């Protein structure tokens, strides 16, 4: 049996050979405290290399030299690179990788497994580390899927311009456009503070009192609609506010707009920031004070 000499390699003198010193058959066997590289060309094809890890807790790896190409250095012989194939795997050594589909993959003759990026993914290898990075899009873009193809970066759009979209670096700001009702709710209590861009169905057995918001921008809108017979609603104001119904106006601060019949409905739009509101549309006979 071969004897380990200094953790490096055997003498090369094989007593079983009739071809002299360092014969080509049987194959040489070397023991080294590292794995072989493409530069280890000074061995015969078929040489077996034992990577001695020098630790009783670790299992050694076994390689075989399977080829020496002619591209490493045209001025030397053999030229290389040397191709060593891992034929026996010790502990903590990669044997295969398995993804979500396709089955396991094994290293090539150089012990290498390529890690390639897919759609919107880039891989970068540094040292013994592979980093997966998401490709950059433009400011405000998001990744949107498609049943017809790969996902892609795209910008949000607003049909009819009802939402203002402002993209930024790692941000998307969405704001309801002026004159847009973005949410409707049914109100069953006796009072309700109104909010910009909201519509309300009055469903209170009595007169439901709505209060205008104190802060509003020109073009902001709100709506009130009565749901059932026998109910009613009244709109009140904050200090300094006025509502305009055609060519008439409510009394500043203490004025009101009120329903008088089933199904009465109004839409209000701010025409002077914070203070002046106009009835831009209505149904029924709306009264004012």
Q: Which two tokens stand for residue 181?
A: 């009702």
Cβ proximity of 208 and 254 under 8 Å: no
Domain 183-288 has CATH 2.60.120.640: yes
Contacts of 102 (CB under 8 A, 6+ apart): none
Using a cut of 0.85, tell me whether the model's pTM lies above it: no
Of 76-85, 87-96, 190-199, give the lowest mean pLDDT range: 87-96
* Region(s) of the chain under CATH 2.60.120.640: 183-288
Per the document, the length of the chain is: 289
Q: 169 burial class (0-12, 13-18, 19+ CB within 10 angstroms)?
A: exposed
Q: Residue 265: which residues within 8 A CB-CB, separation 6 or more?
A: 223, 224, 225, 226, 282, 283, 284
pLDDT given for residue 8 in this prediction: 41
Q: Is the pLDDT of residue 141 over 60?
A: yes
Q: What is the DSSP letter of 101?
A: S
Comparison of pLDDT for 148 and 108, the residue scoring more = 148
The pair of structure tokens assigned to 209 is: 């009192």
């Amino acid at each position: 049996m071969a004897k380990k000499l200094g953790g490096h390699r055997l003498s090369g003198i094989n007593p079983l050979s009739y071809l002299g010193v360092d014969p080509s058959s049987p194959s040489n066997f070397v023991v080294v405290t590292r794995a072989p590289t493409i530069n280890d060309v000074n061995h015969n094809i078929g040489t077996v290399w034992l990577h001695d890890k020098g630790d009783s807790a670790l299992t050694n790896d076994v390689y075989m030299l399977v080829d020496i190409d002619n591209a490493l250095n045209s001025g030397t012989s053999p030229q290389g690179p040397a191709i060593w194939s891992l034929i026996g795997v010790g502990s903590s050594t990669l044997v295969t990788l398995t993804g979500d589909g396709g089955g396991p993959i094994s290293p090539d003759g150089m012990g290498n497994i390529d890690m390639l990026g897919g759609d919107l993914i880039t891989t970068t290898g540094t040292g013994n580390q592979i980093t997966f990075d998401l490709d950059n899009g433009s400011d405000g873009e998001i990744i949107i899927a498609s049943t017809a193809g790969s996902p892609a970066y795209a910008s949000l759009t607003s049909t009819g311009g009802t939402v203002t979209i402002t993209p930024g670096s790692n941000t998307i700001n969405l704001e309801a456009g002026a004159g847009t009702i973005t949410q409707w709710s049914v109100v069953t209590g006796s009072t309700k503070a109104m909010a910009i861009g909201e519509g309300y169905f009055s469903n209170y057995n009595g007169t439901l009192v709505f209060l205008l918001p104190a802060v509003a921008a020109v073009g902001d809108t709100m709506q009130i609609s009565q749901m059932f017979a026998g109910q009613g609603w009244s709109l009140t104001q904050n200090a300094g506010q006025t509502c305009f119904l055609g060519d008439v106006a409510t009394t500043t601060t203490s004025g009101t707009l009120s329903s008088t019949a089933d199904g009465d409905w109004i839409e209000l739009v701010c025409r002077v920031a914070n203070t002046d509101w106009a009835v831009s549309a209505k149904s029924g006979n709306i009264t004012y004070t």
